[in-house]
Structure 1
């Protein structure tokens, strides 16, 4: 399960990121935890030691089926960074998820010290990894959210549209998600990650015609063809609001590994948003445009049918940094 080597800014220092760019899988578990007592040295030591052993745990589970694309990515939250990393330099942009209040909808902020993004083509491997992980952590942590996702048909969300079309490919992946020496020398090889758990009002969504749904998303439903942007100043589609450009006009991508989740018996249907980026501001600007609107007041109409239950930000340290946390 080793990743290819990465290079720091000048190309002189080999950096191995975590499996941020692991392939899309059939199943995933999104596990967000908080540390019960960050002032308890023994508890923090247990958490730090467990996090450092993530690669060993991964190998132990992945070996049971080498074709199942098992991977786990670990993110550390702002409020636990100093304790878990034992005082390593803080990533330049790392801070708690910032609540965004639009005129109609709000992106809420929820707690989270650790994120484990567990994925494989087999649900049982995700289950087994989580079981072993929680056995090691014991009562040092509390589960804030545990969501089991699944791949739905041809990579569609439960709204019926293909999800993740705008993901970078090839060399653009690393450029989009891996922090370089020039960006932040103390965080080379890492990535920022934002997670939000959305639940859908499918009854209201299905009351729309296919053409109305396509106007909300900005793509055709059947064949995923991109539609023309709305005129400037008019209501923009989701795909337009989620497209971020810098002041120089350069377009910035993020890597999404979203997953549907749900329980039809409980009438629960949702999408777990997870976005990786080397620049946290890109994701934050995307969410600002969605919830506040661009122009302000014209929010992303997908929010009329999809409500966020969580919102948390983490930093995913390079693999070597993670493994070295237990060296003190």
Structure 2
């Protein structure tokens, strides 16, 4: 059974920051030199101060930045212990579709209700990191209408709320050295909107498992399961293991690029890994998530989000 009542560490990063109007998803690799690693340590130790420096201009815009650390980078920081489930993103490859694992040591999830604050934070952050890192992916996301993706459906309906937020996203007594931390998985998906828009609304709704206009859930047509069903993981008693999604659309009509940046925070990394297996392999196997016929995953990364005292300790070399 899922644990439902526990104390939330007060120094958890702002995983539960309110859904924002804008976001930057920045993934970087740390260059191989010891001096580069030392420079990164210094920046990580000062992340909270940097957020205050930029965010004071408009406190109501809720600027925040969550920092995630990849498996290989965690090893480089030299700690004798590691989060129980921290591991690289697992590549999934089938005859029809694949979920690639792509490089990345650090994830910076920058959020605010003003695009200029996201821009300024990222600009100063990259100035501080300098040549110690190489940017491997940068996506600028935006909130689209009433929290819809570019496929036209509401995204993130099943997010936890209230007391369930911490239970779903923050590590607890099962891994006490890392209590208050979280796991985060990111993927960048590119959409073939021409193919999607060639489908009828009823066909689209069958793929997603919800009505397009009002977001009401629909029953699956067995044995083919809808996206919302394949992305739902339950225990033996039927209780759902929730995750926090803060997906955002991105794109450029001029270049014909349209996509969704998936980002999921979870207390239990295996939950998201199982979701992705069900989507790409199918349940039963062979009946994959039909959203993949119009949405192609081009990146994939897994990171650990340490609580603030561990993030500062990494920065101090402790």
Same fold (TM over 0.5): yes
In structure 2, how many angstroms separate the alpha carbons of the residues matched to 1:87 and 1:10? 30
Alignment RMSD: 1.5
Distance 1:237 1:124, change over 3 A: same
Question: Which of 31, 34, 37 matches 1:44?
Answer: 37
In structure 1, how many angstroms separate the alpha carbons of the residues matched to 2:10 and 2:176? 12
Check conservation: 2:9, 2:179, Cα contact below 8 A: no
Q: Which moved more, 1:255-264 or 1:222-231?
A: 222-231
Question: Unaligned 5+ residue runs, structure 2?
Answer: none
Deviation string, structure 1 residues 234-288 (Cα, Å, up to 9, x no partner): 1100000000012443310100000000000000000000000000000000000
In structure 1, how many angstroms separate the alpha carbons of the residues matched to 2:172 and 2:144? 34
**Partner of 1:265 in structure 2?**
254
Deviation string, structure 1 residues 271-324 (Cα, Å, up to 9, x no partner): 000000000000000000000000000000000000011000000000121123
**Partner of 1:201 in structure 2?**
192
| Secondary structure class of the residue paired with 2:60 | coil
Offset of 1:15 from its aligned partner?
4.2
Offset of 1:12 from its aligned partner?
8.2
In structure 1, how many angstroms separate the alpha carbons of the residues matched to 2:8 and 2:73? 27
In structure 1, how many angstroms separate the alpha carbons of the residues matched to 2:21 and 2:55? 15
Normalising by structure 1, report the TM-score.
Answer: 0.93
| Secondary structure class of the residue paired with 1:223 | coil
Question: Which of 170, 183, 197 matches 1:178?
Answer: 170
In structure 2, how many angstroms separate the alpha carbons of the residues matched to 1:87 and 1:322? 12
Question: Unaligned 5+ residue runs, structure 1?
Answer: 1-8
Check conservation: 1:219, 1:225, Cα contact below 8 A: yes
Question: Which of 9, 12, 22 matches 2:17?
Answer: 22
Does 1:298 find its partner at 2:268? no
Check conservation: 2:234, 2:241, Cα contact below 8 A: yes
| Secondary structure class of the residue paired with 1:251 | coil
Distance 1:11 1:275, change over 3 A: closer
Instruction: State the 4+ residue runs in structure 1 displaced beyond 3 angstroms.
Output: 9-15
In structure 2, how many angstroms separate the alpha carbons of the residues matched to 1:162 and 1:248? 28
How many residue pairs get aligned? The number is 314
Distance 1:241 1:89, change over 3 A: same
Check conservation: 1:28, 1:118, Cα contact below 8 A: yes
| Secondary structure class of the residue paired with 1:25 | coil
| Secondary structure class of the residue paired with 1:137 | helix
**Partner of 2:243 in structure 1?**
254
1:204-243 map, 5 Å: 204-231=195-222, 234-243=223-232
Normalising by structure 2, report the TM-score.
Answer: 0.96
In structure 2, how many angstroms separate the alpha carbons of the residues matched to 1:307 and 1:12? 39
In structure 2, how many angstroms separate the alpha carbons of the residues matched to 1:74 and 1:33? 11
Offset of 1:54 from its aligned partner?
0.7
Check conservation: 1:15, 1:188, Cα contact below 8 A: no
Question: Which of 62, 73, 89 matches 1:80?
Answer: 73
Check conservation: 1:102, 1:297, Cα contact below 8 A: no
In structure 2, how many angstroms separate the alpha carbons of the residues matched to 1:52 and 1:249? 42
